[in-house]
Amino acid sequence: MQTGHRLSAAAIREARAAQPQTRERDFAATLGITEAEYVAAYCGISAARVSADINALG
């Protein structure tokens, strides 16, 4: 479902609540979003953003 505009994180989570049994990749495809956009909708809720700070690894 490509609509030409981006869905908000809240809209993605709301749509997900209506389809809890669908696999994540299939759910993302039905909304016309990437799996990364799906995960980003949950940042701070049940997903954490990873920092790519090489200096922090040392």
pLDDT higher than threshold 90 for residue 53: no
pLDDT digits (tens, 9 = 90+) for 1-50: 454 568 999 999 999 999 999 999 999 999 999 999 999 898 878 776 67
Q: Is 41 in contact with 9 (CB distance < 8 Å)?
A: yes
pLDDT higher than threshold 50 for residue 52: yes
- Provide the pLDDT confidence category of residue 55 given band limits of 50, 70 and 90: confident
Q: Does pTM surpass 0.75?
A: no
Domain positions in the chain are 9-50
CA dihedral 23, 24, 29, 34 (to 10 degrees): -160
Q: Supply the pLDDT for residue 6.
A: 85
